[in-house]
């Protein structure tokens, strides 16, 4: 026999012998391992088929040579859950939380009847919870939170009478809770059903869960009806959270309910009584309450306020109208004054070749910022204190002022220049308005806090220059334009739509940067004006968030009424290939469509404003449409237009960018991000996710990047 053939036969026989040496449970785990996708990292590197059993493998623990637990959380594993896990006849604990498993739960998994804990939170699983869950009579912990499970909770779950922990939060469950939920699951110690779409009344038998401790969380659902008084029978150490539902009527004042604070009931507009500061009027029906809530201009007896006040109210209206008209005339006079002043200025001209110092003078002359005497500018700049915020800054104020400068545009936060130093380094210089001497220290404190922010997805502030009359911010110059041009193209230039992987890369980067600003940055910043035009793109299409912190700085520096009036006249921005050809844009342009609905009433920005703005940006990138859509003779925002499409049950393919039509291998990922965007643009700010959760959700989509 040929020696080479003999050697080959020997190797094959040896391999089969090694496989046969591994017991059935090891083979089941190998089948699970083979169902994983991509790089599994070094943690599972010792899962070898040559071992007699898997008891020494990472993440596997055994009792009596039988697999007792599979614990592999937070490892970035992806793929589908293998039904082969059901062949682990003695398995008690499965913990695969915070990975990227997707698909539905295999029903065979529930044939492992000795299972005591199943923890699958923080994955990409979807579909209904199988009715076979009722087979697991020994199950004590079920945590499938932070996935996309949907449908109703199967009635068979009440057969899991040994459950002590049930966490179904942050999914898409709907419908009522199963009958006998509280009576059958009397051993529950933790119950969290928050952030779903459960409806119907809260079962009264939940008050029978005498073993509960910690939090009973039913918040952010659609539960209706009155609060069962039986919930007061729960231990007084239990915090009951019923916020953001559709509950009605008086709040029971007994036991655990009597000890709860107002946050436990907020977001239910038709609840009344303590601890809410809403009195319950005896004899008033719920319908009356709803009518009063929806029509606040009417009094309780149905008569309008106007008819109740009569002649005195009419006088107030006349005085108010006169006051408003006077104000309008005054503002018109100021506009006329500034327009005439602007017309005698040098005008908008091409200024190629000027040094930054000359450009700053031109800026005062063109835009008529504040002081009449621009000859004092050089003296002011000489008194300017130049402060580097980075050890890599190797230029000073003199080099900066003598460098070539190109006017990029003007916004409400000042004039922006591209400055190219003699060594070829390009930086962006933003010139703010004048500020008073008394606020100079406050300005320095704010700028130095912004300068401490270092993140790959935020534009870095490298230095600043300030005096009583001049304030400059020096940033990295980002080379590849902004996201608006990347999504919609730029006039006069050929346009190539972004590919889906590039879009996801940009989305993920913005989410990371915004989560960093919200959670990690020194002052937990709120951007307050997030939109594609201030998302800048680097050479590798990595996004960089700009203009964060500018709101506060603008408030500090822009104190003069002249500057504020001039800001309201127009926003100037470069629209052509030349950086000096400026076009006036009305302030009612697309920027308002990124603002959260509550921004119309709230004066102080919140992080949930930014979440809404980010959601609109996601929808814009998915649909390829502008943030406003023309429908007949009217104009609606993109969020409304897409919601109409959903209500009309249009297919997703009709709502997304046509250039993505050939990417239908990615339909699950596109759909997942679309749903995330809709969550971010929820009308109720408290129902929007945090940016930390959004960024985490994108991290789970690593296969897209």
* 428 and 572, same domain (yes or no): yes
From the CB of residue 280, how many other CB atoms can be counted at a distance below 10 Å?
14
Q: How far is CA 403 from each of CA 416, 475, 477, rounded to the nearest angstrom? A: 15, 15, 14
Tokens of residue 175, six digits: 């419908």
Tokens of residue 492, six digits: 């006069």
* 466 and 497, same domain (yes or no): no
* 518 and 651, same domain (yes or no): yes
* 496 and 617, same domain (yes or no): yes
* 440 and 389, same domain (yes or no): yes
**CATH number for the domain including 507?**
1.10.510.10
Q: What pLDDT is attached to residue 664?
A: 54
* 502 and 622, same domain (yes or no): yes
Q: What angle do CA 348, 353, 357 make, to 5 degrees?
A: 80
Length of the chain: 705
| Rounded CA separation 675/139 (Å) | 32
* 502 and 650, same domain (yes or no): yes
Q: What pLDDT is attached to residue 582?
A: 29
Q: What pLDDT is attached to residue 705?
A: 46
The DSSP symbol for 443 reads: H
What CA dihedral angle connects 93, 215, 152 and 691, to 10 degrees? -90
Q: What pLDDT is attached to residue 16?
A: 46
Q: Is 445 a domain residue? A: yes
Q: Which of 323, 343, 363 is the last residue of a domain?
A: 343
Domain that holds residue 518: 483-545+593-705
Q: What pLDDT is attached to residue 17?
A: 44
| Rounded CA separation 617/543 (Å) | 13
Q: What pLDDT is attached to residue 567?
A: 32
* 468 and 606, same domain (yes or no): no
Q: Is 674 a domain residue? A: yes
Q: Is 180 a domain residue? A: no
**CATH number for the domain including 401?**
3.30.200.20
Structurally, the chain folds into a number of domains equal to: 3
Sort residue 146 into left (φ over 0), alpha (ψ -120 to 50) or beta. left
Q: What pLDDT is attached to residue 536?
A: 94
Q: Which of 343, 361, 387 is the last residue of a domain?
A: 343
* 471 and 338, same domain (yes or no): no
Q: Is 631 a domain residue? A: yes
Contacts 24+ apart (CB under 8 A), 154-160: 154/128, 154/129, 154/130, 154/178, 155/131, 155/179, 156/131, 156/132, 157/129, 157/133, 157/185, 158/134, 158/184, 158/185, 159/134, 159/135, 159/184, 160/133, 160/134, 160/136, 160/185
* 641 and 626, same domain (yes or no): yes
Q: Which of 343, 363, 391 is the last residue of a domain?
A: 343
3-state secondary structure of 175: strand
- Is residue 169 within 8 A of residue 146, CB to CB? The reply is yes
Q: What is the pLDDT of residues 316-351, one digit of tens each?
A: 444 454 555 555 445 554 444 444 334 333 333 333
Q: Is 670 a domain residue? A: yes
Closest-CA residue to 590 (of 540, 532, 663)? 532
607 alpha-carbon distance from chain centroid: 9
Q: Is 420 a domain residue? A: yes
Q: Is 408 a domain residue? A: yes
* 394 and 438, same domain (yes or no): yes
| Rounded CA separation 223/271 (Å) | 13
Provide CB contacts within 8 A for 153, sequence distance 6+.
Answer: 129, 168, 173, 175, 177, 178
* 505 and 446, same domain (yes or no): no
Q: Is 697 a domain residue? A: yes
Tokens of residue 146, six digits: 């932070």
Q: What pLDDT is attached to residue 543?
A: 95
| Rounded CA separation 352/117 (Å) | 70
Please identify every stretch of the chain with a pLDDT value under 70, giving residue numbers as ranges: 1-21, 39-42, 282-383, 411-413, 433-439, 551-552, 554-591, 603, 631-633, 661-665, 702-705
| Rounded CA separation 150/127 (Å) | 5
Tokens of residue 173, six digits: 């469950």
């Amino acid at each position: 026999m040929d020696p080479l053939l003999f050697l080959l036969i020997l190797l094959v026989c040896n391999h089969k012998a090694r496989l046969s040496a591994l017991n059935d449970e090891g083979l089941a785990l190998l089948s699970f391992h083979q169902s994983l996708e991509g790089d599994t990292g070094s943690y599972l590197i010792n899962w070898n088929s040559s071992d007699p059993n898997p008891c020494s493998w990472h993440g596997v623990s055994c009792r009596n040579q039988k697999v007792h637990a599979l614990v592999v959380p937070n490892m970035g594993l992806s793929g589908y859950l293998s039904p082969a896990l059901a062949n682990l006849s003695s398995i008690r604990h499965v913990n695969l939380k915070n990975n990227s498993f997707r698909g539905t739960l295999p029903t065979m998994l529930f044939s492992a009847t000795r299972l005591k804990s199943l923890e699958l939170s923080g994955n990409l699983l979807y579909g209904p919870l199988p009715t076979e869950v009722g087979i697991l009579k020994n199950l004590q912990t079920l945590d499938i939170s932070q996935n996309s499970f949907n449908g109703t909770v199967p009635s068979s779950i009440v057969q899991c009478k040994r459950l002590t922990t049930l966490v179904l939060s942050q999914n898409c469950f709907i419908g009522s809770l199963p009958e006998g939920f509280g009576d059958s699951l009397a051993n529950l110690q933790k119950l969290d059903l928050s952030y779903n779409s459960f409806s119907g009344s809260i079962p009264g038998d939940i008050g029978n869960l005498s073993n509960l401790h910690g939090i009973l969380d039913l918040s952010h659902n659609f539960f209706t009806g009155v609060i069962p008084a039986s919930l007061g029978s729960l231990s007084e150490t239990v915090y009951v959270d019923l916020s953001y539902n559709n509950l009605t009527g008086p709040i029971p004042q007994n036991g655990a309910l009597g000890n709860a604070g107002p946050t436990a009931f907020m977001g239910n507009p038709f609840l009344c009584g303590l601890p809410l500061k809403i009195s319950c009027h005896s004899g008033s029906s719920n319908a009356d309450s709803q009518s009063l809530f929806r029509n606040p201009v009417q009094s309780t007896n149905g008569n309008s306020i106007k008819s109740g006040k009569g002649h005195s109210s009419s006088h107030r209206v006349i005085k108010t109208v006169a006051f408003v008209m006077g104000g309008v005339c005054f503002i018109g006079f100021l506009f006329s004054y500034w327009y005439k002043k602007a017309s005698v200025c040098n005008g908008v001209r091409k200024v190629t070749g000027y040094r930054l110092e000359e450009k700053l003078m031109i800026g005062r002359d063109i835009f008529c910022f504040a002081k009449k005497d621009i000859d004092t500018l050089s003296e002011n700049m000489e008194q300017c204190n130049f402060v580097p915020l980075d050890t890599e800054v190797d230029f000073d104020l003199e080099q900066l002022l003598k460098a070539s400068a190109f006017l990029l545009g003007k916004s409400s936060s000042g004039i922006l220049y591209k400055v190219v130093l003699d060594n070829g380094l390009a930086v962006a210089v933003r010139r703010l308005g004048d500020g008073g001497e008394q606020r100079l220290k406050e300005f320095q404190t704010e700028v130095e806090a912004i300068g401490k922010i270092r993140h790959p997805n935020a534009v870095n502030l490298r230095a600043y220059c300030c005096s009583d009359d001049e304030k400059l911010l020096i940033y990295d110059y980002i080379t590849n334009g902004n996201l608006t041009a990347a999504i919609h193209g730029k006039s006069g230039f050929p346009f190539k739509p972004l590919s889906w992987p590039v879009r996801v890369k940009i989305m993920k980067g913005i989410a990371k940067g915004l989560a960093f600003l919200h959670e990690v940055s020194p002052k937990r910043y709120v951007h307050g004006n997030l939109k594609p035009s201030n998302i800048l793109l680097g050479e590798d299409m990595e996004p960089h968030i700009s203009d964060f912190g500018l709101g506060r700085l603008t408030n500090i520096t822009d104190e003069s009424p002249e500057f504020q009036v001039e800001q309201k006249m127009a926003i100037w921005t470069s629209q052509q290939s030349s950086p000096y050809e400026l076009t006036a844009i009305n302030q009612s342009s697309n920027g308002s469509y990124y603002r959260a609905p509550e921004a119309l009433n709230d004066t102080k920005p919140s992080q949930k404003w930014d979440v809404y703005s980010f959601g609109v940006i996601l929808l814009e990138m998915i649909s390829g449409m502008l943030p406003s859509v023309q429908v007949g003779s009217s104009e609606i925002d993109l969020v409304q237009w897409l919601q109409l499409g959903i209500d009309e049950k249009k297919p997703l393919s009709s709502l997304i960018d046509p250039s993505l039509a050939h990417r239908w291998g990615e339909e699950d990922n596109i759909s997942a991000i679309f749903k995330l965007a809709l969550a971010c643009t929820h009308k109720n700010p408290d129902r929007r996710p945090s940016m930390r959760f959004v960024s985490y959700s994108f991290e789970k989509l690593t296969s897209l990047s």
